[in-house]
């Protein structure tokens, strides 16, 4: 069974390119390349497009009129759900962690442009309130005679993870066409776990010698190991695979979160500058900058050995650069 056996909408522009990063690779002592899922086009791009191709197909088949989801202020996932809802004639409701903004910038601006209904929850009370608030929106839609669907944080469930099983299928085909070997290590930001779960399943099937490491941008490693191992097993079951994962099988690095989810870190900001000035590559302070910081650390301390073939998954997020402009330029000399 392949991902072609599942119902999917064509939302993104695939395959996205795999690009070499020779200058950064020399700095780190590895053969570095990047999967440009920021180039997938639809709704501002990013890894959530792959997940939503499956999740929104299920919603269309169920006659859904209102989709409800959640995320942080600068959630790529929330922005992509809003864009997909527009394309499919649905209403999006986004329940976001954080106080109402004084100005709408980055992904919040795009959420507004896509016509999403926004609700903001106090960041401390968020975890106690979020499930009830999303259900309240679903109940309100039902009371109006409209079919609603709650899409989980980050699109992270077994069905959404199929998007990154498909990404490995795509990458394996791309490398076969060029005669390049599979990577030794795939590095990806982890905010909700679905992308890493799909990569684990895809690698188990197509690149069994490849390791996948998730750089946490939000939670501790134990939480993710438990969550991702279960999700990978459920996704594999959808594919008819008998494979399972224990929490200890899931490689998570959680030392690069910084002050917290959605808050820039010193190391992440430095990585953003390195990538921009060495490769003309745009990363963001919420996801990819922190993941690149993690990659720098893993290469420098030998967890990723010198000379390894490393593939970094760019999960998008450049709209989140702009709300953090002052933090990114503070203390940086003019070129």
Fold classification of 48-155 (topology level): Rossmann fold (3.40.50)
Q: What is the pLDDT of residue 332?
A: 59
What's the chain's average pLDDT? Answer: 96
What value does the mean pLDDT take over residues 99-119?
A: 96
- Residue 95 DSSP SS3: strand
Tokens 């720098």 correspond to: 296
Tokens 């507004």 correspond to: 112
- String of DSSP letters for 15-68: SPPEEE-HHHHHHHTSEEEEEEGGGS-GGG--THHHHHHHHHHHHHHTT--EEE
Q: What is the pLDDT of residue 331?
A: 53
Q: What's the order of all strands across the beta sheet hosting 117-121?
A: 117-121, 91-97, 66-72, 148-150
User: Smallest Cα–Cα separation from 42: which of 16, 19, 64?
Assistant: 16
pLDDT digits (tens, 9 = 90+) for 118-169: 999 999 999 999 999 999 999 999 999 999 999 999 999 999 999 999 999 9
Q: Give the confidence band of 326 by pLDDT, cuts at 50, 70, 90.
A: confident
pLDDT digits (tens, 9 = 90+) for 33-60: 999 999 999 999 999 999 999 999 999 9
75 carries an active-site annotation: yes
What value does the mean pLDDT take over residues 51-75?
A: 97
- Cα gap 306→28, rounded to integer Å: 8
Half-sphere exposure of 283 (CA within 13 A, CB side): 31
Residue ranges per structural domain of the chain = 3-47+157-329, 48-155
Q: Give the confidence band of 236 by pLDDT, cuts at 50, 70, 90.
A: very high
Q: Do 32 and 16 touch, CB atoms closer than 8 A? A: no
Q: Which one from 75, 216, 218, 265 is the annotated catalytic residue?
A: 75
The four Cα atoms 311, 246, 191, 132 give a dihedral, to 10 degrees, of 160
Is the pLDDT at 270 greater than 60, yes or no? yes
- Cα gap 20→169, rounded to integer Å: 19
Is the pLDDT at 176 greater than 70, yes or no? yes
User: Smallest Cα–Cα separation from 35: which of 157, 158, 154, 175?
Assistant: 175
What value does the mean pLDDT take over residues 280-295?
A: 97
Token pair belonging to 165: 């099983």
Q: What angle do CA 179, 181, 185 make, to 5 degrees?
A: 150
Whether 3-47+157-329 shares its CATH topology with 48-155 is answered: yes
Q: What is the pLDDT of residue 335?
A: 41
Token pair belonging to 242: 């008998």
CATH code linked to domain 3-47+157-329: 3.40.50.1100
Q: What is the pLDDT of residue 330?
A: 79
């Amino acid at each position: 069974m392949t991902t072609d056996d599942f119902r999917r909408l064509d939302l993104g522009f695939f395959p996205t390119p795999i690009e070499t990063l020779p200058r950064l690779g020399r700095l780190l002592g590895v053969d570095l390349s990047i999967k440009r899922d920021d180039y997938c086009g639809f709704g501002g791009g990013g890894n959530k497009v792959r997940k939503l191709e499956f999740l929104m197909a299920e919603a269309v088949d169920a006659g859904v009129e209102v989709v409800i989801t959640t995320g942080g202020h600068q959630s790529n996932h929330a922005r992509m759900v809003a864009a997909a809802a527009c394309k499919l004639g649905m209403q999006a409701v986004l329940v976001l962690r954080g106080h109402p903004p004084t100005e709408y910038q980055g992904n919040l601006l795009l959420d507004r442009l896509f016509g999403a209904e926004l609700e903001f929850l106090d960041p401390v009370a968020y975890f106690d309130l979020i499930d009830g608030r999303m259900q309240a929106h679903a109940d309100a839609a039902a009371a109006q005679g409209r079919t609603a669907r709650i899409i989980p944080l980050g699109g992270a469930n077994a069905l959404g993870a199929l998007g990154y099983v498909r990404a490995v299928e795509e990458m394996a085909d791309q490398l076969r066409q060029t005669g390049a070997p599979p990577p030794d290590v795939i590095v990806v930001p982890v905010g909700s776990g679905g992308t890493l779960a799909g990569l684990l399943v895809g690698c188990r099937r197509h690149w069994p010698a490849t390791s996948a490491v998730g750089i946490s941008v939000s939670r501790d490693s134990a939480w993710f190991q438990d969550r991702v191992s279960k999700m990978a097993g459920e996704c594999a079951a959808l594919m008819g695979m008998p494979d399972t994962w224990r929490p200890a099988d899931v490689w998570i690095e959680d030392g690069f979160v910084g002050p917290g989810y959605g808050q820039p870190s010193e190391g992440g900001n430095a990585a953003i500058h390195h990538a921009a000035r060495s490769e003309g590559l745009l990363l963001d302070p919420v996801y990819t900058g922190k993941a690149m910081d993690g990659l720098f650390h893993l290469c420098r301390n030998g967890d990723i050995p010198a000379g390894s073939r490393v593939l970094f998954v760019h999960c998008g997020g450049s709209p989140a650069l702009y709300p953090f402009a002052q933090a990114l330029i503070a203390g940086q000399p003019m070129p």
